[in-house]
């Protein structure tokens, strides 16, 4: 496994900060930097504000996009018979929304991987703490390899 660049470490730390309920020290230990570095990255990148704004899951975002497509289609259906086709603006909106839906449904980013692996660790922790710790180390190595 190759050593991570500072940029990769920063992105990994940011993802951990946004997705997991870890202290800055825990993040620093997992990423391999000092707590002060994580603190500086956090302040400089306004991670706290991002964390507050990170309320929608990918699934909720896709559902919202589908609702928006339905709204455009409903507006088209309300037009008089013979004119029930999208105008240029509506057609452009439909193309953009369907493209966004396709991208979100197909793309599995590093944040999604971390979310799934975190769920596995949280599931394992109550029944076998040692195994959860072992998985955490393995999953950290996996994520580091994917960065």
Residue whose entry in the numeric block shows the structure tokens 């013979």: 82
Q: Is the pLDDT of residue 134 over 80?
A: yes
Give me the half-sphere count of Cα atoms (radius 13 Å) on the Cβ side of residue 62. 10
Task: Determine the pLDDT at residue 20.
Answer: 82
Q: What is the mean pLDDT of residues 101-127?
A: 83
Task: Determine the pLDDT at residue 54.
Answer: 61
Q: Is the pLDDT of residue 76 over 70?
A: yes
Q: How confident is the model at residue 111 (pLDDT cuts 50, 70, 90)?
A: confident
Alpha-carbon distance of 71 to 13, in angstroms, equals: 39
pTM: 0.43
Q: What is the mean pLDDT of residues 114-124?
A: 89
Alpha-carbon distance of 46 to 115, in angstroms, equals: 21
Pick the more confident residue, 110 or 124: 124
Task: Determine the pLDDT at residue 78.
Answer: 96
Integer angstrom CA distances of residue 46 from 1, 3, 43, 58: 30, 26, 5, 22
* Model pLDDT for residues 1-53, shown as the tens digit of each residue: 457 889 999 989 998 898 888 899 999 999 999 999 999 999 998 888 777 65
Return the structure tokens found at 79. Answer: 């037009």
What letter does residue 32 receive in the DSSP assignment?
T
């Amino acid at each position: 496994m190759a050593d991570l660049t500072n940029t990769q470490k920063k992105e990994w730390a940011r993802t951990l900060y946004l997705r997991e309920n870890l202290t800055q020290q825990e993040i620093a230990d997992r990423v391999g930097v000092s707590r002060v570095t994580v603190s500086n990255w956090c302040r400089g990148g306004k991670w706290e504000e991002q964390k507050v704004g990170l309320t929608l899951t990918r699934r909720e975002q896709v559902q919202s996009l589908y609702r928006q497509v339905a709204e455009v289609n409903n507006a088209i259906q309300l037009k008089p018979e013979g004119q029930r086709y999208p105008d240029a603006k509506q057609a452009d909106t439909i193309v953009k929304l369907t493209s966004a839906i396709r991208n979100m449904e197909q793309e599995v980013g590093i944040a999604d991987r971390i979310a799934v692996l975190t769920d596995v660790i949280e599931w394992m922790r109550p029944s076998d703490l040692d195994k959860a710790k072992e998985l955490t180390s393995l999953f950290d190595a996996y994520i580091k390899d994917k960065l």
